[in-house]
Structure 1
Amino acid sequence: MSRDKIDIKDVTPKTFNPKTHKGNQDRFNPSNRIYVRESKGTFQKLRRYGAWFLLALFMLTPWIPYGERQAILLDIGNQQFNFFGTTLYPQDLTLLALLFMVAAFGLFFITTFLGRIWCGYLCPQTVWTFMFIWFEEKLEGSANKRRKQDSNKLTLPLAWKKTLKHLAWLAISLATGITFVGYFVPVGTLLIDFFTFNSNFWPAFWVLFFAGCTYANAGWMRSIVCLHMCPYARFQSAMFDKDTFIVGYHAQRGESRGPRSRKADPKALNLGDCIDCDLCVQVCPTGIDIRDGLQYECINCGACIDACNKTMDRMGYQKGLINYTTEHRLSGNGTKVMRPKLLGYGAVLLLMIGLFFAQVAAVDPAGLTVIRDRNQLFRTNSDGLTENTYTLKVINKTQQQQEYSLDVTGLTDVTWYGRKTVQVEPGEVLNLPLSLGADPQQLDSPVTTIQFILRDNGDFSIEVESRFIKKL
């Protein structure tokens, strides 16, 4: 049996002292609230700028016009998914499956390489949580002030501040709900109808539903979502290895911990560089102590890194006591970036991206569906010809009006009863009934395979197979 064992460290939360703010609150108890202290620094600027960019992209995209409609409109009711100049239909949704595969393997790749960087910088839960915390700080004060206020009796000024805070949260939540539903319903009409109380039940319901979820998740639940509800925190360890970049504390340099004056020599006091200020705990949005080692609750946001670097700078010590590192580097070994697992995820990711763009390139600008009349397989008309009836569905997937011509192959001297040229509006599905007539003496078998051909004014054409049936 191998003697290699995984190091186990007791990270059971210490008893929390509300007077000194030392120790951790029980982060496994959803009833305990984490008061997150503001943190400033390089990584928080990066997180903040990235969050504002993604938030602006989310909020503004539904308002981008393209032709007579918004650029991106996922019209589920009409089964049309409009992306700028292209309209996709349910038969094109293999693209969605490929897109999910790209997203999944992209997440696997980035997690293996940089840990939970998605959670710390890009996850909507993190973005909205930090935004809500910003309003909390501006209206109620710093984390220590909020903690003290909440432990005392509620006063009228504090009640007014809390009311303003919740109104701001509700306004952001409502804007989020309207924007999200605006990807599925024309956002301009949705906005007017919602505030004039003319909206239909389901759009209004989903706006309020997603607004409520945003308000609850970012305002009240926060770390509970990350610790107890998000499955990503649970299965991420399957993608981690000892070369994955994580937020880590250099215990060999930091221990033993202890307070001291700036001028004191830590070596003379038999102390490490950690002054045990607990700022790394106070700024953590999930309430963990990174000095206890790797924990699944850590979302790699880097808040503790910025807080610790400021402390090290004030003390005159070298920065980086807490930084982005790997388990191998923490143990004094080298980090191997290019490794089989990461290369494997990268190769599959590139393959999925290639397949996705190949599928995008293969999407036809028009579609044709042929439906035979099953109530009457054939009939003999007044000219003595055997006649079959069909319904053709012509789909214009572009954002411009198109003219299409129709033809059929597989029959000799066929007679076409119906229109052979049609004009189809953008995104329209045109139902075209028609009949084909053929001399039964020229039909070699009871069932003849035929092809309907749809052509536009350019080089595009599409063929759809069907059957022509005669009397035995």
Structure 2
Amino acid sequence: MNDKNNQIDVKNVTGAVRSHRPTDDGHIYVRAQKGQWQRLRKLMGWFFMLLFVVGPWLTWNNRQAILLDVEQQRFHIFGSTIWPQDLTLLALLFVVAAFGLFFITTFLGRVWCGYLCPQTVWTFLFIWFEEKFEGSANKRRQLDKSSWNFNKLWRKSAKHAAWLAVSLFTGFTFIAYFVPAVELGLGLLTFSASFWPVFWVLFFAFCTYGNAGWMRTIMCTHMCPYSRFQSAMFDKDTYTVSYDVERGEQRGPRPRKKDPKELGLGDCIDCDMCVQVCPAGIDIRDGLQYECINCGACVDACDQTMERMGYENGLISYTTEHKLRHKETHVARPKLIGYGVVMVIMLAAFVYMAANIMPLGVEVIRDRNQLYRETAEGLVENTYTLKIINKTLEAETYQLKVDGVDELEWIGPTEVTVSGGEVFTLPISLSADPYLLSSPVQDITFVVTRAGAAPDERKSGARNESKFFGSAR
């Protein structure tokens, strides 16, 4: 490497990056920013936060509309009840969500992180409380550096009290999706709630307080796997927040009315506003970084600076690498189309399965103590326990029968009424004359149909196969 022509130029950017970050001892003081992208981010954040808060209080047929009852192993979602037998639906839904995330990331980068991720929404909410109680970013920095006095004490106390209140409400709302909201609320207010609901409310409140109040982007950069594997979905046609180096360099301050070209400068005036408003504390001018969440705060800040200077907007913008290099951006590309096709196929499969979900289920449990017994009349008898699951919200009457062996005699009720959402347990027996059995083991099928259903009604019945044991003679 002694030959200068073979040497690789290395630029140490550590100090430059660090100098741009508005941090003291690792803390990031995020400056408030307004603009079109921040209005969109706030609108979407408040909309989905409102859905989250209102969700547990919606009712459907005098029952909580969304209740993920883990204890009873059933998920109520408006008029549908999903049982463990139907968890394939949830698996398909997760697959659809995953490929939807892959699709949107390939197309628009990490917009999920910047606009919809709960970590980001709650972090900006907590920063809003910081601004209300402690002031702007510069005032917060000065307050932290000052000695403890009454002013600092009450401001800090009020901020943390607000954080804790939001955290407790968040924990309560989240658990209200798993425990009936009214029951949980009354239990907490009257101190009669059992240990586990209280524990989980406090646990998620602690997580919210720690993540949104203290960890913030540490959660995104060091604990969330998405920031690590997102690069596998990026390509040169992905829209990300980017800095136009060709237009912006060389940076430097200048008089507003002076032509930058005469000074040998680009459009970037090196005001560092893009860094001060960044919740991750990065400098987007150093290139694409995995910490960037595509929130667009730096875009709004830079556009406002450009307007004040009389320059064209878009020095920092949502753009692609190809566009920055004056090449054509290809939106419809194989990878994006592939993600979209898989997502649509999985979504179609989910819709089909959801539309054809059986409102009735039956499980058959054979008596494990003995295969069969012989009655005093010389008949062979097998004992079974039927578990009939009514997945609807209304009481239904069902008719029971067995197919497979014509000679079997049903011992027990052949018609039962099951309440909505109930698992009805029914012990029954089947008997047969051993001289009429063609083999010692016979395949049989229990059939449960809704009383009064038409023979060709697809959702009227449920079937479950079993065995009948006997001694053929």
TM range (shorter): over 0.9
| Higher mean C-alpha deviation, range 153-162 or range 179-188 | 153-162
1:323 and 1:255 map into 2 onto residues whose CA distance is 16
**Counterpart position of 2:202:** 208
Q: Which runs of 5+ in 2 are unaligned?
A: 1-8
Q: What residue is the counterpart of 1:392 in the other structure?
A: 386
| Correspondences of 1:93-104 after superposition (within 5 Å) | 93-104=87-98
The answer for the alignment partner of 1:55 in structure 2 is: 49
Q: Which amino acid aligns with 1:369?
A: E
Q: SS state of the match for residue 70, structure 1?
A: coil
1:461 paired with 2:453, answer no
Give the AA of the match of 1:142: S
- Which string of whole-angstrom CA distances, capped at 9 and with x for unpartnered residues, describes residues 1-49 of structure 1? xxxxxx9975425376xxxxx622579xxx5100000010100000000
Could you give the per-residue CA deviations for residues 341-363 of structure 1, whole angstroms, max 9, x where no partner exists?
11111111111112212221232
Partner residue of 2:113? 119
Q: Distance in 2 between matches of 1:218 and 1:177?
A: 13
Letter in 2 for 1:263: K
Equivalent residue, structure 2, for 1:360:
354
Question: Within the alignment, does 1:14 sit opposite 2:16 as a pair?
Answer: yes
| Contact 2:69–2:76 (CA under 8 A) maintained in structure 1 | yes
Cα distance in 1, alignment partners of residues 336 and 11 from structure 2: 28
1:168 aligns with 2:162: yes
Show the 5 A alignment for 1:233-382: 233-382=227-376
- Give the Å deviation of 1:267: 1.6
**Contact 1:411-1:438 at 8 Å conserved across structures:** no
SS at match of 1:47: helix
CA distance in 2, matches of 1:403, 1:236: 52
- Give the 3 Å change call, closer, same or farther, for CA 237–406 of structure 1 in structure 2: same
Contact map agreement 1:373 1:390 (CA 8 A) in 2: yes
Mapped to 1, the partners of 2:394 and 2:415 lie a distance apart of 17
Structure 2 letter corresponding to 1:247:
V
**Structure 2 equivalent of residue 82 of structure 1:** 76
Shift of 1:316: 1.1
Note if 1:401 corresponds to 2:403. no
Matched-pair identity in % = 60
Q: From 145, 148, 151, give the equivalent of 1:151.
A: 145
**Secondary structure, in 3 states, of the residue corresponding to 2:279?**
coil
Residue among 400, 406, 414 paired with 1:412:
406
CA displacement 1:302-345 (0-9 Å, x = unmatched): 00000111111111111111100011111221211111111111
Q: How many residues align?
A: 459
Give the AA of the match of 1:23: H
Question: TM-score of the superposition, structure 2-length normalised?
Answer: 0.94
C-alpha distance after superposition, 1:234-255 (max 9, x if no partner): 1111111111100011111111
SS in 2 for 1:40: coil
The 8 Å contact of residues 38 and 300 in structure 2, kept in 1 or not, is answered as yes
Query: SS at 1:296's partner residue?
Result: coil
Q: Match for residue 32 of structure 1?
A: 26
Gaps of 5+ in 1: 1-6, 17-21
Q: 1:19: which partner in 2?
A: none
Whole-Å Cα distance in 1 between the matches of residues 15 and 154 of structure 2?
34
Q: TM-score, normalised by structure 1?
A: 0.94
Alignment partners' CA distance in 2, 1:291 and 1:250: 8
How far is 1:466 from its partner? Answer: 1.2
What is the DSSP-based 3-state SS (H/G/I as helix, E as strand, rest coil) of the residue aligned with 2:197?
helix
Q: Which amino acid aligns with 2:231?
A: S
Q: Within 5 Å, which residues of 2 pair with 1:173-212?
A: 173-212=167-206
